[in-house]
Amino acid sequence: MARITTDFLVLGSGIAGLTFAIKTAQAHPDRKILVLTKTDQGESNTRYAQGGVAAVWDHEKDTFLKHVEDTLDAGDGLCKREIVELVVEEGPLRVQEIIEWGARFDKEKGADGNYDLAREGGHSEHRILHYKDLTGWEMQRTLMEEAHRYPNIEILEHYFALDLITQHHLGRMVIRVTPDIECYGCYALNKQNGEIDTILSRATVLCTGGAGQVYKSTTNPVIATGDGIAMTYRAKGRVENMEFVQFHPTSLYSPAGENPSFLVSEAVRGFGGILKTAAGEEFMHLYDERLSLAPRDIVARAIDSEMKKRGTDCMYLDCRHLDKDAFVAHFPTIYDKCLNMGIDPMRDLIPVVPACHYMCGGILVDEHGRSSIHRLYAAGECSSTGLHGANRLASNSLLEAMVFAHRIFEDTRNKIGGWDFRTEVPDWNAEGTTDPGEMVLITQSLKELKEIMSYYVGIVRSNIRLKRALDRLYLLYQETEDLYRSTTISPQLMELRNLITIAYLITRSATHRRESRGLHFTTDYPGQQAFVEFSVL
């Protein structure tokens, strides 16, 4: 059981975590930045991003106002306008920085060498910078290479953060309305030796990503189990807007059910791909005048509704009319994946189905990335900044992560010296726990959890489905807490526990929202209410 101290503790090595670490390392060469990551440093949602990063780049055609309006429109009345403006306006500076660190984005052919700006659903202009269909891979590569240049950044791989340390661990009663909760670091499982270390920090930044694994079908890798959000909720921090779970309309349909589901980027529709039925008929005109390029919530619901009407397992994307060379140049990974599945995108319709993709809600933070717990910040997909409202606009999340990582760096810059270590924090207490005899207790509960969320709290919800979900979740919660109290900690058990918390937060927030808005659609309240509010838990 080691005790480790660090000035800055960063949980997560995706775009949010590494951007913060690099900037802080540059500004404070004398301070230590410790980054924990629960598997390899390159494994993150960031690594799988395809479409790209949205930023106003071509000022002749595009404006900040247009990007702001598109974001507000997708967010369906729940975005915070001041946050949208600052992300849109500061975003291009952050994109420029990652270019300077070495990120390559595709350029147009020809002498000018301007960036090849793509378009995705809900965007009124071409403004998506991308690297083929591997933008996230390129950004993750760049960030890791840049981070390795700084000796004061240490990345600990295969370290699983278990719980945030607050006054609760010093024996004080902490409840959700306690005004001065402070974070002193975290307990983390060193997966290589099975020991639980105490990591004390002056400031802690949560960059733990999304929670897609709470559903059966998701584009998110298996690391996306909502750990940061669940840890914050357990530490009595504020979490909001959890009912707004984004389903991507077009994951590749696989009869065998892959985890994660492979994404067919929205950029394919931006490039001219058209949604169709198995018989080759278009259907999006029945739902929205923007057709296949309507915002995601609308397209995902349209596909879901057509599948239910027809009793089919998928709908289709038609790319047969597109230029093959250009398609392969833009989407080499998607093209190869389809071929490997026996689908030739130039001859066959591509079968697609909605899959859970992005958590719009999360840890409530202000414009500086500060959570409701002092000395605890959050950035990236685990946070809720007010940018996305009830539905995220495509390619806005990589942008948000970079903007808020920078803002947290600025906020902590002059404060860090004033925050001391709390060395009296005790070690983790594992007394009375033994090895779990049967892993099946964990794996079966996880399967049940995913079934509950997929059938009762998916794209279309209703009061009775949400009630059923809550009843069943309560049982799973009790069984898992019993297991937690009596068995040795494992990543599988902690992920299950965290996902049950995430499921509860989604379902409870959905129950509170008695209207349909953005990504939350319920058959009991199909319309919107004039008075809208954030669901803060």
Strands 383-384 and 362-364: parallel
Looking up tokens 């010093």, which residue turns up?
Answer: 170
Nearer CB in complex with ligand SIN: 41/397: 397
Min dist. Cβ of residue 487 to ligand FAD (A): 18
Distances (CA, A) of 225 to 88, 194, 363: 28, 20, 14
**What is the per-residue burial (b if ≥16 Cβ within 10 Å, else e) of 461-490?**
beeebbebbbebbeebbeebeebeeebebb
From CA 392, how far away is CA 128, in angstroms rounded? 15
C-beta of 353 vs 394, nearer to ligand SIN = 394
Q: Is 358 in the site for ligand FAD (CB under 6 A)?
A: yes
Given the complex with ligand FAD, which of 385 and 511 has the nearer CB atom? Answer: 385
Closer CB to ligand SIN, 13 or 265, in the complex:
265
Is residue 340 within a helix (H) or strand (E), and if so which, with residue range?
Answer: helix 332-340
- Residues 374 and 4: their CA atoms lie apart, in Å, by 20
Binding of residue 384 to ligand FAD (CB under 6 A): no
Rounded Cα gap, residues 468 and 456, in angstroms:
7
Can you tell me which of 199, 381, 409, 516 binds ligand FAD, judged by CB under 6 A? 381
Measured distance CA(266)–CA(424) in Å, rounded: 51
> Which residues are annotated as catalytic?
296
Residue 91 binds what, of ligand FAD, ligand SIN, none (CB under 5 to 8 Å, by partner type)? none
- Neighbour tally for 220: CB within 10 Å: 29
**22 contributes a contact to ligand FAD by CB under 6 A:** no
38 binds, among ligand FAD, ligand SIN, none (CB under 5 to 8 A by kind): ligand FAD
Contact indicator for 479, 493 with CB cutoff of 8 Å: no
- Give min distance, CB of 295 to ligand SIN, in A: 11
Kindly tell me which residue out of 4, 9, 11, 360 binds ligand FAD, with binding defined by CB under 6 A.
11
Q: Residue 403 binds which one of ligand FAD, ligand SIN, none, with CB within 5 to 8 A depending on kind?
A: none
Does residue number 297 form part of the binding site for ligand FAD (CB under 6 A)? no
SS3 state at 105: coil
Q: How far is the CB of 354 from ligand SIN (least distance, A)?
A: 12
Residue 259, CA distances (Å) to 78, 215, 224, 272, 353 in order: 31, 10, 12, 28, 14
Burial class (CB in 10 A: 0-12, 13-18, 19+), 58: middle
Kindly state whether residue 516 participates in binding ligand FAD, applying the rule CB under 6 A: no
243 touches, from ligand SIN, ligand FAD, none (C-beta below 5 to 8 Å by class): none
Q: How far is CA 86 from CA 67, 68, 464, 498, in A?
A: 11, 9, 40, 32
Q: Is 175 exposed, middle or buried (0-12, 13-18, 19+ CB in 10 A)?
A: exposed
Positions that interact with ligand SIN (CB under 6 A): 50-51, 265-267, 394-395, 397
- Enumerate residues 183-242 that contact ligand FAD by CB under 6 A: 207-210, 219-220, 223, 227
Least Cβ distance, residue 466 to ligand FAD (angstroms): 26
Nearer to ligand FAD, 205 or 294 (CB): 205
Q: Write the CB contacts of 119 (distance below 8 Å, at least 6 apart in sequence).
A: 125, 126, 127, 128, 267, 270, 293
Residue 12's binding partner, choosing from ligand FAD, ligand SIN, none, with beta-carbon cut-off 5 to 8 A by kind?
ligand FAD
Segment 442 to 481, residues that bind ligand FAD, using CB under 6 A: none
Least Å distance between CB 177 and ligand FAD?
A: 26
How far is residue 127's CA from residue 396's CA, in Å, rounded to a whole number? 11
Q: Is 398 in the site for ligand FAD (CB under 6 A)?
A: yes
Site string for ligand FAD, 258-287 (x = CB under 6 A): -----x------------------------
427 DSSP 8-state letter:
P
Q: Which residues contact 58 (CB under 8 A, 6 or more apart)?
A: 114, 117, 125, 126, 127
Cβ closest to ligand FAD, residue 18 vs residue 322: 18
Residue entry with tokens 């890798």: 221
* Least separation in angstroms between CB 397 and ligand SIN: 6
* Contact residue for ligand FAD among 115, 137, 160, 247 (CB under 6 A): 160
Which residue's CB comes closest to ligand SIN?
51
What's the CA gap between 97 and 405, in Å, rounded?
12
Distance CA 479, CA 444 (A): 12
Residue 223 binds which entry of ligand FAD, ligand SIN, none, with Cβ cut-offs from 5 to 8 Å by kind? ligand FAD
Name the token pair of 486: 């009596």
Whole-number minimum distance, CB 211 to ligand FAD, in Å? Answer: 10
Q: Decide if residue 12 touches ligand FAD (CB under 6 A).
A: yes
**Is 316 one of the binding residues for ligand FAD (CB under 6 A)?**
no
Q: Smallest distance from the beta carbon of 395 to ligand SIN, in angstroms? A: 4
Site residues, ligand FAD (CB under 6 A): 11-17, 36-39, 44-46, 48-53, 135-136, 159-161, 207-210, 219-220, 223, 227, 263, 358, 380-382, 395-398, 401
